[in-house]
Amino acid sequence: MEEFTDREKLILDFLKDNNVDIEEVIDAIIKANGFVGVGLVRLQDILIDAVKKHFKQESLDKIMNG
């Protein structure tokens, strides 16, 4: 497992200390930025890319779509 950066540790500590889950983070980002329509599509692309970089063996599309 990779070591966490100081920034990642800070984020993880905040989430843990405040009992915050990823859905709450995403909801807050959407509300704070007023994302609708194209903004939500762009956020979706960002989230997919963030997850994809952790898949070494298979593409996320293959896993999601069979």
Q: Are 28 and 42 part of one and the same domain?
A: no
pLDDT at residue 30 in the model: 95
The model's confidence at residue 59, banded by pLDDT at 50, 70 and 90, is low
Regarding whether 23 and 49 lie in a shared domain, the answer is no
pLDDT at site 53: 82
Residues 19 and 6 in one domain: yes
1-41 pLDDT, tens per residue? 679 999 999 999 999 999 999 999 999 999 999 999 999 99
- Say yes or no: 40 and 24 in one domain: no
Q: Are residues 27 and 44 in the same domain?
A: no
Residues 8 and 23 in one domain: yes
Per-residue model confidence (pLDDT) at position 28:
95
pLDDT per residue as tens digits for the range 32-56:
999 999 999 999 999 988 988 877 6
Can you tell me which residue has the tokens 């859905």?
Answer: 23
For helices 22-33 and 38-52, the axis angle rounded to 10 degrees is 140
Same domain, 44 and 58: yes
| Nearest Cα residue to 46 out of 56, 35, 57 | 35
Range of the structural domain that residue 61 is part of: 35-66
Whether residue 43 is found in the same domain as residue 61: yes
